[in-house]
Chains A and B, each alone.
Chain A
């Protein structure tokens, strides 16, 4: 594994060094705020020490990015494939407009996680959050899966306000039996005792990444949110 010391390196230089590296396994040390790390890469294994900047793994096509710390805003922006694994917490707009791939966060995520994510055939984006999510989780969600495990200990609700606003595809699973505040009329909520296979596999994957026992997270209730079928937004804007 090659190591790149990012200390005092600017974003452009760091990204150029990543692309020019002779190996696919790269460790980035002393990362502090460099943006767009791993943008568009397809087959790298990046391990990052420190705090990467905004838009980490934007347009990521494949491979794995593992961050030994927190990440900032817009992690996995418009990613197509691959995995981003965050040992700490993630900022706002995590997984913004994802089209494929997976994001696993041990801690919390900020506002607007999973906004505008969408699925097409085999491309099904997935975000699994160990802690809690801020407001606007899954806003305008069009496809894919978001799972919030709620293992945070600060006493705040598992999800903030305006969850699923404008949602018209995909699924959100929130561990527990408590409905989010003021769900929009176009979103249907049901309490389930068993996770569907795809979601269960994702929870197991999260547990193996962060070394947690999956049993208590599987033998429990979840709230499943899906858009109401039919045409939920009929006549919302125009009279036809």
Chain B
């Protein structure tokens, strides 16, 4: 079968996210219910979820989720992982057989700690070390794909409608303080398990509705910093841009939003002095990381969610709040389905980031 990056397939998507800012936990059921309202936005070629705070007993270890095409890819990958990490615990991820979900790869989970001597010899920061290992598996081992690699979070995805994928992964058995989800309607690549959303690197996860037109410009730039865009999908490149700007360059979420979804120069010119100077600086520093074309994304990270849409608002996003719980979705109806009576509902402007974080982010670090 031709996979992501080897084939062009023409065809919207649906995104949703929820966070209990007080740190209370919920199962993945709510997100399954919300995304099912937007069933018609996807076509059964991809669905996925990211849960945060779901591995409290292993919160100090990197949780790798892997797809394998076969046993050979698995043994090669486990040998590689064994050379770079201490494997604290590993097992096949428990799934439920469903008629709607077919052709699943082998799906394994590993809780890992970088080998101290190996890490010291690499002269790398720990997270960079882990990111490079993820990149090496994905780019160099045929038939193996790391699709989740953060601490105390996990991505669950596959080919199917998102509500089926959620049940396939038994998400009712997990409890997290934040969830995101995605229903896919692939625009450029065939649906493949690895190509479903969320895309993740370390604790960042991205779900995306849209099709960016700056893909190649963004890819050429980001590949200069060691990222390898193996899947040829726009969401992968957005994930790497977020990782590069936030983790490696130390930008804040708002600053990242002003790079990725920068205002038009004519709009910046009308802003007050300090904002104008800052946004001008960011656009000049990272012109190649401006993402153009339609997109609405939800970025998940340890302790928070950020919604961001393109500056022209070519894709819809609705945010809502009910007490401590905050919601983000492509459509208001998806939120109303799980929380009919809301305190506040609004649509953020194009390029305007909306950030919902735990009141106490220290608690989950």
Contact = CB atoms under 8 A, between A and B. Distances in A.
B37 interface: yes
A135 B350 contact: yes
B38 interface: yes
A182 B266 contact: yes
A169 interface: no
A88 to B, nearest CB: 8
B37 A134 contact: no
A112 B266 CA distance: 19
Determine chain A's interface SS by DSSP, over half rule. Answer: loop
Contacts of A15: none
Contacts of B332: 51, 70, 72, 91
Contact of B37 (A33, A92, A110, A111): A33
Residue among A10, A110, A136, A161 facing the most chain B CB atoms (10 A cut-off): A161
Given A54-B331, A72-B316, A110-B313, A32 B336 contact: yes
Interface in A160-213: 160-161, 181-182
Interface in A123-178: 134-136, 160-161
Contacts of A161: 264, 267
Contacts of B337: 32-33
B270 A92 contact: no
A61 to B, nearest CB: 24
Contact of B316 (A33, A50, A91, A160): A91
A53 interface: yes
A73 interface: yes
A181 B264 CA distance: 13
A35 interface: yes
Contacts of B334: 33
B333 interface: yes
A33 B340 CA distance: 12
A42 interface: no
Size bracket of the B interface: 20 to 34
B40 interface: yes
Given A53-B333, A135-B349, A160-B349, A181 B270 contact: yes
B127 to A, nearest CB: 38
A70 to B, nearest CB: 6
A110 B270 contact: no
Interface string B24-39: 0000000000000111
B347 interface: yes
Interface in B148-205: none
B239 to A, nearest CB: 26
B345 interface: yes
Contact of A134 (B267, B313, B333): B313
B338 to A, nearest CB: 10
A226 B181 CA distance: 44
Interface residues on A, range: 20 to 34
A54 B318 CA distance: 13
Contacts of B316: 72-73, 91-92, 110
B345 A70 contact: yes
Contacts of A70: 332, 345
A91 B307 CA distance: 17
Contact of A111 (B38, B313, B331, B333): B313
Contacts of B349: 134-135, 160
Contacts of A11: 40
Interface in B316-353: 316, 318, 331-334, 336-337, 345, 347, 349-350
Contacts of B38: 33
B37 A32 contact: yes
Nearest to B332: A51
A36 to B, nearest CB: 10
Contacts of A72: 316, 331-333
Contacts of B313: 92, 110-111, 134-135
Interface in A87-126: 91-92, 110-111
Contacts of A33: 37-38, 331, 333-334, 336-337
Central interface residue in A33, A51, A54, A73, by most chain B CB within 10 Å: A33
Nearest to A154: B346
Contacts of A134: 313, 347, 349
Contacts of B331: 33, 53-54, 72-73
A11 B37 CA distance: 10
A10 B345 CA distance: 24
B40 A111 contact: no
B181 to A, nearest CB: 15
A111 B266 contact: no
B222 to A, nearest CB: 29
A233 to B, nearest CB: 20
A70 B340 CA distance: 12
Interface in A32-53: 32-33, 35, 50-53
A35 to B, nearest CB: 7
Contacts of B270: 181-182
Nearest to A156: B349
B210 to A, nearest CB: 13
Smallest CB-CB A-B distances: 9 pairs: A33-B333, A33-B37, A51-B333, A111-B313, A51-B336, A32-B333, A32-B337, A51-B332, A73-B316
18 contacts: A32-B336, A33-B38, A33-B337, A51-B332, A70-B332, A72-B332, A73-B316, A91-B316, A91-B318, A111-B350, A134-B313, A134-B347, A135-B312, A135-B350, A136-B312, A161-B264, A161-B267, A182-B266
